[in-house]
């Protein structure tokens, strides 16, 4: 079941990248609300089709990720935080995750940098942008990206990798395209100033193809892999 869904998604990613003449796109499997057994099953399925590739999982809550990691024991996986991060959770997050995709204020940068455990590789960081300027959404304004990028780049325990966005789920595809394009422009600008920037995280189950066409390098997929959430 899960193996079939994974196969379909990888096919969609491949096709979309090829049709848009873009390089390979990374799959982030969004495992929020799914049990650890589903994570293990997906990781196993991915090992069969892409040997040597580390499976990447996205979680919205620090505590949920910690619980899953504990029950998965030594399984070598890559964990991404894709939910809003409160400053008082920065210590746990800096230890539990390999990537934080939701950095949207300078205060959080310092907290993550301080709490990244010594001896670990730098924590990969994406700046979350509130691209549709929705009051209900987290993420910084486009005009704040530069200050955040400078703060992140100045911390040896952090590694600035790019941008992340959750555009408003407009039923009108063209409005979503506008948001994706705006993100791509911001991303290209950032990448010219910071050569280590290589990741534009946008697109979910509903708009994988559109996001890839407009320049996503990583898509975050939950429902299309694991089925509807309860
Ligand atoms: C839940 C979630 C996803 C996955 O959404 P699906 O529609 O289930 O693919 C992607 N990104 C973020 C930030 C999420 O919270």
How many whole angstroms from 88 Cα to the centroid of ligand 1? 23
Q: What pLDDT, on a 0 to 100 scale, did the predictor assign at position 205?
A: 96
With a 6 A CB cut-off, is 205 part of the ligand 1 pocket? yes
Residue of the CA atom closest to atom 13 of ligand 1: 82
179: domain range? 2-226
Reported pTM = 0.97
Q: What pLDDT, on a 0 to 100 scale, did the predictor assign at position 135?
A: 85
- Mean of the per-residue pLDDT values of the chain: 96
Q: Which of 204, 210, 223 to mutate to test the pocket of ligand 1 (most atoms within 8 A of CB)?
A: 204
Q: Work out how many domains the chain is built from and give that number.
A: 1
- Region 110-129: mean pLDDT is 97
Q: What pLDDT, on a 0 to 100 scale, did the predictor assign at position 102?
A: 98
How many whole angstroms from 204 Cα to the centroid of ligand 1? 6
Q: How far is CA 173 from CA 22, 131, 133, 206, in A?
A: 20, 15, 18, 10
Contact 201, 163 (CB under 8 A): yes
CATH code of the domain containing 210: 3.20.20.10
pLDDT in tens, 137-161: 899 999 999 999 999 999 999 999 9
Q: What pLDDT, on a 0 to 100 scale, did the predictor assign at position 75?
A: 85
Q: Which residue has the higher pLDDT, 135 or 140?
A: 140
What is the pLDDT confidence band of residue 12, given thresholds at 50, 70 and 90? very high
Dist CA 124 CA 128 (whole Å): 13
pLDDT surpasses 80 at 103 = yes
How many whole angstroms from 213 Cα to the centroid of ligand 1? 19
pLDDT surpasses 80 at 74 = no
Q: Which atom of ligand 1 is nearest to the CA of 226?
A: 8
pLDDT surpasses 90 at 53 = no
Cβ neighbours of residue 67 under 8 Å, at least 6 residues apart? 36
With a 6 A CB cut-off, is 215 part of the ligand 1 pocket? no
């Amino acid at each position: 079941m899960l193996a079939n869904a994974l196969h379909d998604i990888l096919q969609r990613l491949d096709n979309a990248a090829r049709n848009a003449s873009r390089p390979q796109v990374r799959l982030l499997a969004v495992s929020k609300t799914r049990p650890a057994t589903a994570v293990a099953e997906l990781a196993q399925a991915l090992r069969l089709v892409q040997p040597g590739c580390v499976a990447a999982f996205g979680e919205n809550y620090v505590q949920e990720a910690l619980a899953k990691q504990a029950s998965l024991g030594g399984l070598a996986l890559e964990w991404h935080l894709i939910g809003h991060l409160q400053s008082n959770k920065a210590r746990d997050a800096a230890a539990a995750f390999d990537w934080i995709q939701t950095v949207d204020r300078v205060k959080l940068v310092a907290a993550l940098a301080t709490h990244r455990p010594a001896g670990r590789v730098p924590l990969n960081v994406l700046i979350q942008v509130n691209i549709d300027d929705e009051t209900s959404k987290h993420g910084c304004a486009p005009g704040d990206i530069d200050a955040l990028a400078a703060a992140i780049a100045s911390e040896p325990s952090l590694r600035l990798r790019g941008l992340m966005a959750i555009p408003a789920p407009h039923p009108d595809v063209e409005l979503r395209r506008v948001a994706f394009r705006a993100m791509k422009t911001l991303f290209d600008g950032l990448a010219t100033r910071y050569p280590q920037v290589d990741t534009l995280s946008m697109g979910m189950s509903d708009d994988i193809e559109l996001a890839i066409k407009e320049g996503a390098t990583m898509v975050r997929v939950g429902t299309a892999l694991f089925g509807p959430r309860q």
